[in-house]
Chain A
């Protein structure tokens, strides 16, 4: 999956989990789950199978792609039972199942519920909350091997989220029932109070109770004194009830007797289909009774049942559930319906219920408080993703609604096999953020034991409890405890421990409250972890995508907007970017070249294009790694005579070849301007030379005496004209030279040059200058006999050396000395031109190679020159790959030394063809 899809999927996932968290009713939750999962995964079928706790049936809810939907219209699927198909397998094994191809599994698997359809790829997960399995979530597709590891990870996560949502939904509906019952209790208590019956139940209250419980039948049976006979107390609430007798037997050894004795509720939904119903021997005929669902709870203390309360419902669609039954049980114990105010004979049969129980007797209000508190807790937990807060608030509520003086949460760190004391409420010290590491792990201590046995329990007397490991100093001060494991999705998370100073402070009710809270806390811990994970992933991914997008869009915008043509190819030489300038310069539409091999269009550009293509090809085969590749540039002349300069370059990250970038520039105009400039300079110099020829020539004629003898003054003046003409000639030549060098118009013809010969020519040059000027300058030549040949353009090297020697000659006064010395230095020959003339000051040394710069002394001495000589020399030396530098103390008489270093002619150089510079 690419990053864009990944981001969309993440967005959908976050949206989906948010929706799940907000859902109220189970029906809408089913719809949201189906559509959400359908949107998240490539699936042709999404199946949400829910276990109906009351009947043990599995009810399938499906969302299918249109093609698959037609199948299910023709093949309605009946409800099916536990253990059947893949759904049954999932519920039994409680683990996720990922199958690449259902038609080729290594181990035999049962057929899925949609076995008639050729589905191949399959993901399934049991929906598990703590110990309870509520159903399965399954998706499938006819294409095999469709689901990637990323899919399965997200699918498992989604299954957990869905489980949590269903659990929350059920809890919420239970809470709504709790509220309903609270109201019932309240109203009944109020009615009891008004009727002045401390412990009895006024039959007049029956309609009220029935209304609150939303039942259609309500009957009270009480035991006869010292008899196993249960007698129906009149009146019975309910129209058309068909109780088959007013008295029936409930022997303690009979099924009914044991139900009453163990103080549990008993419910039978769809009594006509329930064979165990008639075996119980209730005075209700399943065949004839209009009741569809029956629920009864014992009255009185467990050790001495006083009777029972029987309720029934007519509507088939409204079965009783366990939560309702639990609550009815709680209600009857709270209401103390031991007496029947409506029937005088009942007054004598009440067992002794006035003595306080061994455990603290809860006031009726405590039920209200407890349900209130649990409701508050559920709401808080389901909305809070802050783990510390969830733990602390849960404990505060538990300490509040139970006799506990202190509540603690131990979270289990599986990596270290250790518990962390993560939260504490009530007495005792607080817990620092991150918790306190404890010495013991699973299997040890009360928490460890609860986690290992996966079971909640009460310890009435801590002093005789060997498993008890007090986790801090305060923990040693308590007498009794209630402990519940924190388990979510089969994963051991830790334990909740309530502590009291009173021995035997915790009973079943407290344990039930603790277990309920522990279940919620476990889910919340899991939720907090998942949300943290999702949020981190989302943030990381978001940040990554943002930075990528910024990078990409910025560089794209830059590349698009620059005036040069840019063509970017990927590692496979396909064009991935072809900017607007490239379209314009090459006259090719980007859409016709994008994603095509770059060679398709390079081929249009002849031999130069071929060299370009070869460069690009070679980079893929031999990725340039640490060393930057040689700078490649090609000049391509298009059919319409436009000139393009192309610079291709490889894009390399580390040692990975990512592609190439080629920059095009239309240099037609530059080439034209360059040509015009050369033409201009050539024209100007031509136009200057012709008149100069005339001036020089006629002066020569006059000096030759072609027009008769000259007097000395005439001769002197003509000499001045002649000298200045020569200066002008040098200036024109230098100007032409430097402009051509700088325009890259000067090409060098490299060949081996004999150094001694070169020095000899310089010697001749000085001799000529001596003759011309009559200036007496000594010349010394120092050269070892075994110097290798230089590699250069003989005429240009001569020009360089003559220029240096000329300078030495000009700036050395009469009687001075010039030394020419040549020697090897590494792989170059160094030629020194040393004089003992006026020298060059340090400040001037930095500028002498600038164009038109002339030293102060030169002007004072009246030496002619253009200030271009050394600039030309520097250019020529660099074109030869050589160096030139100057040394002078700037003191007259100490002179100046110019050193010229030029490469020697190597064997390779001797064998190569002339190389073109510029």
Chain B
């Protein structure tokens, strides 16, 4: 089963994404801040990481950069989920090494489509 890590400080979104993914047949692990998201990526080895940009302790960009800087983890695709939808911010996410950037508010079908596309399914 494909395992996806969702890192999001907003509890409602975390739950929404978790239910949606499980409903679509993915296994889900979640984290509420950047630092634990980085630790869980190392410990859980998910197949894909969904990152919020603005998170406590460590922001999403930095989490992404560290994942991509880690030879053990850098193959794991990263998708940003963010309310910061301006071009510069999208670009910053791509520069940090992410595979995609989804702007909030997003529809669940949009999310599932993007995950499938990223995983090459």
Q: Taking beta carbons and an 8 Å cutoff, which residues of A are in contact with B?
A: 682, 685-687, 689-698, 700-701, 704, 706, 725, 729, 733, 736, 740
Contact = CB atoms under 8 A, between A and B. Distances in A.
A686 B13 contact: no
A701 B23 contact: yes
B83 A693 contact: yes
B56 to A, nearest CB: 14
Given A693-B13, A701-B16, A682 B104 contact: no
A700 B109 contact: yes
Nearest to B111: A697
A693 B19 contact: no
Given A694-B16, A697-B20, A704-B23, A689 B104 contact: yes
By Cβ-Cβ distance, the 5 closest A-B pairs, closest first, are A689-B83, A697-B16, A693-B105, A692-B105, A686-B83
A690 B53 CA distance: 12
B20 to A, nearest CB: 6
B83 to A, nearest CB: 4
Nearest to B102: A693
Interface in B79-110: 83-86, 103-109
Contact of B19 (A691, A701, A733, A736): A701
A140 to B, nearest CB: 82
Contacts, number: 63
Given A689-B104, A692-B105, A682 B13 contact: no
A100 B56 CA distance: 91
Contacts of B10: 690, 694
B83 A685 contact: yes
A132 B41 CA distance: 123
24 contacts: A682-B86, A685-B83, A686-B54, A686-B84, A689-B85, A689-B104, A692-B105, A693-B105, A694-B13, A695-B105, A696-B106, A696-B107, A697-B17, A697-B105, A698-B16, A700-B107, A700-B109, A701-B16, A701-B19, A704-B23, A706-B20, A729-B105, A736-B85, A740-B86
Contacts of B104: 689-690, 692-693
Contacts of B108: 697, 700-701, 704
A696 B105 contact: yes
A695 B85 CA distance: 18
A682 B86 CA distance: 9
Interface in B40-84: 54, 83-84
Contacts of B12: 691, 694, 698
Contacts of A700: 20, 107-109
B13 A697 contact: yes
A706 B16 CA distance: 11
Contacts of A693: 13, 16, 83, 104-106
A657 B13 CA distance: 67
Nearest to A707: B19
B83 A690 contact: yes
Contacts of A729: 105
Nearest to B87: A747
A701 B17 CA distance: 10
Contacts of B23: 701, 704, 706
Interface string B15-33: 0110110010000000000
Contacts of B85: 685, 689, 733, 736
A690 B54 CA distance: 11
Nearest to A685: B83
A465 to B, nearest CB: 111
Contacts of B19: 701, 706
Contacts of A691: 12
A778 to B, nearest CB: 29
Given A696-B106, A697-B20, A700-B20, 17 more contacts: A685-B83, A685-B85, A686-B84, A687-B83, A690-B10, A690-B83, A692-B105, A693-B105, A693-B106, A694-B10, A695-B105, A697-B107, A701-B20, A706-B20, A725-B105, A733-B85, A740-B86
B60 to A, nearest CB: 13
B15 to A, nearest CB: 9
A725 B106 CA distance: 11
A701 B112 CA distance: 12
A452 to B, nearest CB: 100
Contacts of A690: 10, 13, 83, 104
The listed residue with most B CB atoms (<10 A of its CB), out of A689, A693, A695, is A693
A695 B16 CA distance: 10
A106 B32 CA distance: 106
Contacts of A695: 105
B84 A682 contact: yes
Contacts of A694: 10, 12-13, 16
A700 B13 CA distance: 13
A916 to B, nearest CB: 14
Contacts of B107: 696-697, 700
A691 B104 CA distance: 9
Contacts of B13: 690, 693-694, 697
A403 B19 CA distance: 139
Contacts of B54: 686
Contacts of B106: 693, 696-697
B31 to A, nearest CB: 17
A689 B86 CA distance: 13
B53 to A, nearest CB: 9
B14 to A, nearest CB: 10
A737 to B, nearest CB: 10
A697 B86 CA distance: 21
Determine which residue in B12, B17, B83, B107 has the highest number of CB atoms from chain A within 10 A of its CB, and name it: B83
A704 B105 CA distance: 18
B73 to A, nearest CB: 27
Contacts of A701: 16, 19-20, 23, 108
A686 B85 CA distance: 9
A697 B84 CA distance: 18
A685 B109 CA distance: 22
A732 B24 CA distance: 30
A769 to B, nearest CB: 16
Contacts of B83: 685-687, 689-690, 693
B61 to A, nearest CB: 15
Nearest to A733: B85
A822 B91 CA distance: 33
A689 B108 CA distance: 15
A662 B9 CA distance: 52
A695 B83 CA distance: 14
B113 to A, nearest CB: 13
A725 B13 CA distance: 16
A675 B94 CA distance: 24
B24 to A, nearest CB: 9
Nearest to A689: B83
Contacts of B109: 700
Nearest to A706: B23
Contacts of B86: 682, 740
Contacts of B105: 689, 692-693, 695-697, 725, 729
Contacts of A687: 83
B90 to A, nearest CB: 12
A733 B83 CA distance: 11
A385 B42 CA distance: 112
B21 to A, nearest CB: 11
- Interface-centre pick from B10, B103, B105 (highest chain A CB count, 10 A): B105
A740 B105 CA distance: 19
A325 to B, nearest CB: 112
A693 B6 CA distance: 15
A736 B83 CA distance: 12
A545 to B, nearest CB: 61
A904 to B, nearest CB: 25
A696 B105 CA distance: 7
A736 B86 CA distance: 9
A415 to B, nearest CB: 83
Contacts of A697: 13, 16-17, 20, 105-108
Contacts of A698: 12, 16
Contacts of B20: 697, 700-701, 706
